[in-house]
């Protein structure tokens, strides 16, 4: 369970208690390098990420991940905080609670509940800036340097806790209490200093990137009110790490003298939030909520609301209704200039959506193709994918969808050629390797099917299963010398990685 991960690691929450909060903001300096190199920090983060990717709550959605990555790198690009060699990766977790966390090595996770709770893009950017500051200031590296042995034990317990959470939340909580309580308590005073520094630096990052600096105090204040008036349903961070009035007041004082800045939300942000709302809870409940909001006209952007409604309908297996709603979405886009600009479009033809934000246009194109596939209009869907890929060649959701559609249309060889071309540029995509495995299965190549499936398991953190797949691939042995040598080399590499990880956990 990802929530166990967040509490277990004490990974620099955006909200943490700060008794005796002082207005001075300390410069902590870079004191971690003597004990933890950037390479070691990155490897530690990769080890934890393998556990996260193996968890069912990890949101493996290319469009959501792409948006978070674009927003994060926009913040970083306008900041002088990050070093040239610093690597960042942003990802989402399917969890309704309001949480965000940073891991060693530049990995940052954001719960779906937090993204939905943010009422403006500046608020989400404020949380992200705060987490970026934790990474650039190497706060986790400092914590590890202070009690390195205990932190290694914490990471070893992490795998057990996540696995236990799948079958018993109580069991995972028992592991949490037994192995982590003393470490968490010993770190609280240290992380209070980190929070002060992350507030200061995060606010500067937010401002330099062109967002509204009021997004930070506004979001924190709303969370505090949620904790005060809704005790049983308060945001999860507030239940364990209460946000003080002093901290909010300090941020407000810093932003009060800043000039007013009205920053409109990007259509990308609005569409991603709508998609996450469509993925929340039971599918029929999501459909009902969108339908009610549309009927009562409780929305700021009708096109965005209809986009989310169609996503919910597809999730609820209502393909024909989704197709009807797609036509209504087209009409809204054609008639409402404020929704966006739709040009050169005739119903029934591949859509041409003109957005300044590339993600938004690609998301609309992907939705249209998905609706066609759901209604068994495969030929039309393929045309839509082909046209869209010419304009958005790097949009992974389109790449995945086109590959799947080629396979469904009984064209495994064409699908394989397309996927192999993509894998030359994208080597960390489990979905692409899964599609590659399907192609080899349809083409009857068992060796390469298992070779591709091994990469799926590896990227999802299942080392043992990946090794088994490679061994099975070698048993078929129907490849040429180069292919067999490649599989053998990959097997040795994964066996070494698995052995090293097992030693580190002892």
Catalytic center residues: 131
- Backbone CA torsion sign across 271, 276, 277, 282: positive
Give the separation between CA 276 and CA 273, rounded to whole angstroms: 5
Q: Do the beta carbons of residue 426 and residue 432 sit within 8 Å?
A: yes
Q: Residue for token digits 């870079």?
A: 30
Q: Which residues pair with 89 in a beta bridge?
A: 107
Cβ-based neighbours of 12, under 8 Å, separated by 6 or more = 101, 102, 131, 134, 139, 140, 191, 194, 195, 198
Residue matched to tokens 């192609």:
439
Helix or strand run (H / E) with residue 101:
strand 100-103
Spatial separation of the C-alpha atoms in residues 295 and 299, rounded to whole Å: 10
Q: Which residue, among 452, 406, 411, has the nearest Cα to 432 in the 3D structure? A: 452
H or E segment and range at residue 177: helix 169-208
Q: How far is CA 413 from CA 221, 406, 419, 439, in A?
A: 56, 9, 10, 7
Contacts of 337 (CB under 8 A, 6+ apart): none
Kindly report the number of other CB atoms within 10 A of residue 56's CB atom. Answer: 10
How far is residue 415's CA from residue 407's CA, in Å, rounded to a whole number? 6
The SS3 assignment for 346 reads coil
CA atoms of 488 and 471, how far apart (whole Å) = 9
Q: Are strands 89-93 and 100-103 parallel, antiparallel or unpaired?
A: unpaired
In eight-state DSSP terms, residue 480 is -
């Amino acid at each position: 369970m990802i929530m166990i991960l967040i509490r277990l690691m004490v990974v620099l929450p955006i909200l943490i208690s700060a008794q005796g909060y002082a207005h001075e903001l300390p410069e902590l300096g870079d004191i971690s390098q003597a004990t933890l190199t950037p390479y070691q920090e990155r490897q530690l983060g990769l080890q934890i990420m393998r556990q996260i990717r193996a968890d069912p709550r990890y949101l493996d959605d290319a469009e959501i991940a792409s948006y978070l990555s674009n927003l994060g790198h926009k913040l970083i690009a306008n900041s002088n905080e990050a070093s040239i060699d610093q690597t960042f990766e942003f990802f989402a977790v399917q969890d309704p609670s309001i949480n965000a966390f940073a891991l060693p090595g530049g990995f940052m996770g954001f719960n779906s509940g937090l993204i939905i709770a943010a009422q403006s893009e500046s608020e989400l950017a404020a949380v992200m800036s705060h987490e970026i500051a934790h990474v650039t200031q190497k706060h986790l590296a400092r914590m590890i340097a202070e009690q390195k042995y205990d932190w290694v034990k914490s990471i070893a317990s992490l795998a057990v806790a996540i696995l236990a959470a799948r079958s018993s939340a109580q069991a995972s909580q028992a592991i949490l209490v037994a192995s982590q309580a003393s470490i968490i308590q010993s770190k609280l005073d240290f992380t209070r200093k980190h929070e002060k520094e992350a507030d200061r630096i995060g606010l500067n990052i937010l401002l330099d990137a062109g967002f509204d600096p009021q997004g930070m105090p506004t979001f924190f204040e709303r969370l505090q009110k949620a904790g005060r008036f809704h005790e049983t349903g308060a945001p999860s961070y507030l239940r364990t790490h209460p946000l003080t009035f002093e901290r909010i007041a300090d941020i407000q004082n810093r932003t009060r003298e800043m000039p007013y800045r009205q920053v409109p939300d990007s259509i990308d942000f609005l569409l991603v939030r709508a998609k996450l709302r469509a993925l929340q809870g039971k599918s029929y409940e999501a459909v009902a909520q969108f339908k009610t909001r549309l009927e009562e006209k409780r929305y700021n952007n009708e096109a965005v609301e209809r986009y989310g409604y169609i996503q919910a309908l597809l999730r609820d297996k209502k393909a024909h209704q989704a197709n009807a709603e797609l036509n209504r979405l087209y009409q809204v886009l054609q008639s409402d200039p404020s929704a966006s600009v739709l040009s050169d479009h005739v119903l029934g033809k591949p859509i041409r959506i003109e957005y300044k934000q590339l993600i938004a246009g690609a998301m609309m194109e992907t939705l249209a193709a998905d609706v066609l596939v759901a209604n068994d209009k495969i030929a039309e869907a393929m045309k839509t994918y082909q046209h869209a890929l010419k304009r958005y060649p790097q949009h992974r959701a389109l790449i995945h969808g086109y590959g799947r559609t080629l396979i469904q249309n009984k064209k495994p060889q064409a699908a394989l050629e397309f996927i192999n071309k993509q894998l030359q540029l994208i080597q960390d995509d489990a979905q692409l390797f899964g599609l590659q495995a399907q192609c080899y299965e349809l083409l009857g190549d068992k060796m390469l099917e298992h070779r591709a499936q091994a990469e799926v398991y590896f990227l999802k953190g299942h080392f043992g299963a990946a090794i088994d797949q490679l061994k099975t691939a070698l048993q078929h042995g129907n490849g040429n010398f180069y292919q067999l040598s490649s599989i053998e080399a990959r097997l040795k590499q994964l066996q070494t990685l698995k052995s090293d990880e097992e030693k580190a956990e002892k």
